[in-house]
Amino acid sequence: MLPRIVMSLRLSLLVLACAAALPLQAKPSITLIGAVQGEGAQSPLLGQTVTVEGRLSADLRDGLDGFYLHGAADGNPATSEGLLVLAEGAVRLPRAACLRVRGEVVEQPAGRSTQSMTALKAQNIQAASCRGLPAPGPVVLTAAPANWEAYEGLPVQIQAPLTVVGLHNLERSGEVWTAFDGALWQPTEMALPGSEQARAIAADNQRRLLILDDGSDVRDPDSLPLLPAGQLPRGGMQLSQVEGIVEQRHGPAWRLQLRRPLPLPPVARPLAAPQLPGTLKIAAFNLENYFNGDGRGTGFPTPRGAASIEQLAAQQAKLVASINGLGADVAALMELENDGFGPASSIAQLVDALNADKAGPGDWRFVDAGTGPGSDSIRVGIIYRHRVLTPVGRPAVLEEGPFMRWSRVPLTQAFRRGDGPVFSVTAIHLKSKGCGDASGPDMDQGDGQGCFNAIRTDSAQRIVAWLASDPTASGSPHAVVLGDFNAHAMEQPIRTLDAAGWRDAFAIAGVAQPYSYVYNGLNGRLDHALLSPTLAGQLRGAAEWHINADEPESVGYAAGNQPGPWRSSDHDPLLLGLDL
């Protein structure tokens, strides 16, 4: 009898805490929760005052704006028996309590005809009989439902693998983005921009996406209760038996407000860089703003990189582990601080650090392009192993047109390995997709290519013409153009080089679904390596080393700083193996 007495006391306290609570003996007309939810995006009872009954399935008042009820079935599979009750107060609601709530039917956020949650703005709350209400426990889903609306507000358990696809909101909002049936892909990585195929890929991405949330709207939380203590997710990780409340909060994607920490499997990382055949290894790597202050231990925080000398040391250690770990003979680098080539410059100090690394080859040098190149705060660079490669002639840069303001100035240098043929390496970094200062044809055209596609395409056309002029005067047809194009594989800048005869190294090597960057949960390539026809026949392999794009920011140098190359940048480095 004692548990029943305790429960009765708790419910009595709840009734006293709620203003104008309905008397138990005067049971009003009850509206089924399924009737409140309706079959559409908005409730058919919007704006009406109704009374519902249900079993408490989750109390999220601490982090969000209310609690959830699970009501009796209405016999219609197109309607949900779950409902958000908007209510404040510190009164403890007993687990799986049965409640009766009177209130106004609203949509959150107000005014949206789609992408909103049906809710009940509580006026009165009191205890109810549990007779006829569902037993505690989640609804089991074995696949992505065709109609999420039929589960809005319900507790569910996903008994299908969920792949972690995005961690960009983990530290900011406590979210892990996942997908049914494997990874999600940028439509323009797989299909022509604006095409029906691209639109179909985008729709499929939306259908398969499911956001796992921490039950709180707190921004930049101090802890992440959705994760087991001491564990972090990683892109590509497979999750199982995930439980939560189905919601449509903060946008069109459906999400689960988790009721318990995620069950995370062990982290599986590619501990070593891919081993490729070939006598010559060429790499490309976006360093994500390697700035060294004034090069003398001060000048922090830097405009785009480390905030302190300690952060610089941590960033540099990760970059050294990444670059030396690749085993390359020559590397094109992006997002170096544009601060000259003297002993205090970023590129000189990076090379010094690479050579001081006992695990590295110790024979790195950099290509000195003289002043600049360019006036942007960041630039490209080329480093090479002088015991393996000999520069042939002088480097060349293209300082004209879009490279004077938007795209970074490209840099090219010819090399020879032993007495082998001369070949050239061209490092590029085209304008980003961000829309700041965009106007006219550089505005987002709605075809998936983002802003400044016109600038990137113009840049690519100029690079094609420039390289055709043999800017290094080497006379060699063997050439590779590589770096951060800020364009996916089927976008115009890449197709511009393809139309001029340049060959995608990853397509030649037969690499299935390569990716170097993850944006909003979508895999794709911003980083490419394109070969001249004569060099394409010498390719023996191509790969990315996935040390960054799949990692949460909290393992990077500015946060948790986990030892090793992990999250040394936001881009994965790429590596080619050739025989010359």
Task: Output the domain CATH number for residue 126.
Answer: 2.40.50.200
Between CA 426 and CA 407 the distance in angstroms is 14
Q: What's the distance, Cα to Cα, between the start and end of the chain in Å?
A: 86
> Which residue range(s) make up the domain with 250?
140-146+153-258
pTM of the model: 0.93
DSSP alpha helix (H) spans, 383-478: 453-468
What's the pLDDT at 109? 83
Is 533 domain-assigned?
Answer: yes
Same domain, 376 and 499: yes
Do 408 and 381 sit in the same domain of this protein?
yes
Query: Coil, strand, or helix at residue 324?
Result: helix
Contact 542, 274 (CB under 8 A): no
Verify that 404 and 486 share a domain, yes or no.
Answer: yes
At residue 19, the pLDDT reads 32
One-letter amino acid for residue 409 of the chain: V
Number of domains in the chain: 3
Residue 26 burial by Cβ neighbours in a 10 Å radius (0-12, 13-18, 19+): exposed
Identify whether residues 87 and 216 lie together within a single domain. no
pLDDT of the residue at 357: 98
Dist. CA 41–CA 56, nearest whole Å? 23
The pLDDT value recorded for residue 259 is 86
Report pLDDT for 89. 76
Residues 312 and 409 in one domain: yes
Q: What is the pLDDT of residue 5?
A: 32
Render each residue's pLDDT in the chain as its tens digit; 580 residues: 334 333 333 433 343 344 333 344 457 899 999 999 999 989 999 999 999 999 999 999 999 989 999 999 999 999 999 999 999 876 788 889 999 999 999 998 866 666 789 999 999 999 999 999 999 889 999 999 999 999 999 999 999 999 999 999 999 999 999 999 999 999 999 999 999 999 999 999 999 999 999 999 999 998 898 999 889 999 999 999 999 999 988 877 999 999 889 999 999 999 999 999 999 999 999 999 999 999 999 999 999 999 999 999 999 999 999 999 999 999 999 999 999 999 999 999 999 999 999 999 999 999 999 878 888 999 999 999 999 999 999 999 999 999 989 999 999 999 999 999 999 999 999 999 999 999 999 999 999 999 999 999 999 999 999 999 999 999 999 999 999 999 999 999 999 999 999 999 999 999 999 999 999 999 999 999 999 999 999 999 999 999 999 999 999 999 999 999 999 999 999 999 999 8
Residues 578, 282: Cα–Cα separation, whole Å: 8
Given a contact cutoff of 8 angstroms between Cβ atoms, the answer to whether 448 and 198 are in contact is: yes
Residue 113 lies in a domain: yes
**Residue 104 belongs to a domain:** yes
Query: Each residue of 111-149: b (16+ CB within 10 Å) or e?
Result: eeeeebbbbbbbbbbbbbebeebbeeebbebeebeeebb
Kindly state whether residue 223 falls inside one of the protein's structural domains. yes
pLDDT of residue 77: 95
Q: State whether 180 and 114 are in the same domain.
A: no
In this structure, the answer to whether residues 161 and 68 fall within a common structural domain is: no
Query: SS3 for 410?
Result: strand
Domain stops at, among 227, 258, 289: 258
